[in-house]
Amino acid sequence: MKNVFKFKQFNVDQTNCAMKINTDGVLLGALTEANDPQSILDIGTGTGVIALMLAQRFTSAKIDAVEIDEDAAETARENFNNSPFIYRIIAYTTGFESFFEQYPHKKFDLIVSNPPFFLNSLESPGIKKNLARHTDEGFYKKLITAVAEHLTETGTCQLILPVPTANLVKGLLPECQLHLQKQISICSFPDDAPHREILIIGNTQTGIIKKTFVIYDHPKVYSVAYQNTLKEFFTIF
């Protein structure tokens, strides 16, 4: 089936999902750093790929995955049910704000998101793709405020964002008493400027660790770092 992406331990059906599996999502799933998290929240799960990758990596974690698009949420739910992690992941057909209204006391050791990121940009054709990929600054203010209220004391929120959006988010942290702990700059090639950043955010001010991650050594040749990072997931490695 052309809409099914086969991983080593699970498959992901992308049917009815406006946003398909992409490099951003799999990098966040593979590069997320956490010390044996017991509770994970994936905001905007889409196909469910990030939640599935985290379930594979963190074997004792219980994962809530929220998705506002009904068709995508149902596809993610089926992907979870067909995976080895069926009893550890729950899909919710809702946005993160409604989820937190329903579960106001829930706190998480790890919150992740590959969120909408075209700030104030032209809307794309297709309502679902627009919903999945376009937003404005108000979205991030609400997101960071909610994260601050629902992280455990030592928990972290980890986001993958384009550089301008990452800068916006970093500017929102002080008013929510959150701190940037680590920043991973993602580059396509060794000499390229970063096009994405993974931000690791928490309650504790630790000093910012900065790292760079390169995807390709040459055109169509993945870097050793990329291969090593994805080898537990991709069948091609």
- Give pTM, 2 decimals: 0.92
pLDDT at 1: 57
What 215-222 contacts at long range (C-beta under 8 Å, 24+ apart), as own/partner pairs, is 215/23, 215/186, 215/187, 215/188, 215/189, 216/188, 216/189, 217/189, 217/190, 218/189
Q: Which helix (H) or strand (E) holds 67?
A: strand 62-67
- Here the tokens at position 186 are 């993602």
Give pLDDT tens digits along the chain (237 positions).
Answer: 568 999 999 999 998 887 789 999 999 999 999 999 999 999 999 999 999 999 999 999 999 999 999 999 999 999 999 999 999 999 999 999 999 999 999 999 999 999 865 444 434 444 444 433 445 678 899 999 999 999 999 999 999 999 999 999 999 999 999 999 999 999 999 999 999 999 999 999 999 999 999 999 999 999 999 999 999 999 999
Q: Can you give the pLDDT at residue 176? A: 95
- Domains delineated in the chain: 4-230 (3.40.50.150)
State how beta strands 108-113 and 151-162 pair: parallel
pLDDT at 139: 87
What is residue 167's predicted lDDT score, i.e. its pLDDT? 92
The string of DSSP letters for 41-63 reads EEES-TTSHHHHHHHHHSTT-EE
pLDDT at 122: 37
pLDDT of 124:
45
Q: Supply the pLDDT for residue 131.
A: 37
* pLDDT value of residue 208: 96
Contact 41, 66 (CB under 8 A): yes
Q: Which helix (H) or strand (E) holds 182?
A: strand 179-187
For residue 117, the model assigns a pLDDT of: 52
